Amino acid sequence: MANRTVYLPVAPPGATLRRDAWWAGPAATVVVLGGFIVYATWRAFEGTDYTYGAYLSPFYSPFFDVGWAHAWGLRFFTPAMLILPGPASFRFTCYYYRKAYYRAFAWDPPACAVGERAPHRYQGETRLLLFQNLHRYALYVALVFLVVLWKDAIVAFVGWKDGVHAGIGSLVMLVNVVLISAYTFGCHSFRHLIGGGVNTYSTAPLGNFRHGLWKLATLFNERHMLFAWMSLFSVALTDLYIRQVASGQLADLRLF
Ligand code: FES
């Protein structure tokens, strides 16, 4: 018998038989991710109140002088405008975030078993979406930023002019870099980098060591969504805390 193409009835966008709150995830993604993008863009243009004592906002780290841009008449230019695309490229191409923002913003589909915006048009990550394959390289960029953020967190304790101190800001920066580390080390590309490409760990060079690291990365990988959101909150709150302290709207409590 000849093969025949069978066309299934197409549900309108959002139509579903599901009775659970399937819309909650996409709605939260729009609010939180959209809010973060607006806040980060505003802070990148603001260009002030990003450092206080030994604290440096993660949005402005590593800090560098942009006097050269101002000398060219680019008065609006701030260091964050060159810094933020680095970590942003890592998050934007992250396998988890792709799922979240494809569902929330493209509605293609918005959730499993829910009518999509453009039925049967999905062609995988081809054409314009080919750039998503750059994620493994964005990981290398993120690892460099991670080293810088750990340095900043240490400086937040030992970098005071009058000795070693810990303020609330020091703890905020430390928690932030721990959460970003948990997110980065749970990256699928990182997990492949340290544990992939071998047939058996028992015969691979440094096999036992790599297997241990791979198991550790797997622990973070299994909670990748959790750390993706927690680290997004923490990086914004760390910047906000330092901004408020630097602008004199909040007093930093010194613990010792
Ligand atoms: S898969 Fe999410 S950061 Fe790599």
Q: How large a percentage of the chain has pLDDT more than 90?
A: 82
Q: Provide the pLDDT for residue 105.
A: 93
Query: What residue's CA is closest to ligand 1, atom 2?
Result: 94
Cα 163 to chain center, whole Å? 33
Looking from the CA of residue 94, the nearest atom of ligand 1 is: 2
Whether 156 contacts 169, CB under 8 Å:
yes
The pTM of this model reads: 0.92
Q: Provide the pLDDT for residue 9.
A: 58
pLDDT tens, residue by residue, 75-119: 999 999 999 999 999 999 999 999 999 999 988 889 999 988 877
pLDDT tens, residue by residue, 6-55: 555 567 888 899 999 999 999 999 999 999 999 999 999 999 999 999 99
Query: For residues 34 and 223, what is the distance between their CA atoms, to the nearest angstrom?
Result: 22
215 pLDDT tier (thresholds 50, 70, 90): very high
pLDDT tens, residue by residue, 44-81: 999 999 999 999 999 999 999 999 999 999 999 999 99
Looking from the CA of residue 135, the nearest atom of ligand 1 is: 4
Cα 195 to chain center, whole Å? 22
For a pocket test of ligand 1, which of 181, 187, 226 has the largest count of ligand atoms closer than 8 A to its C-beta? 187
Q: From the CA of 85, how far away is ligand 1's center (Å)?
A: 16
CA angle 94, 188, 176 (to 5 degrees): 65
**Quick one: CA torsion of 56, 92, 25, 189, rounded to 10 degrees?**
-100
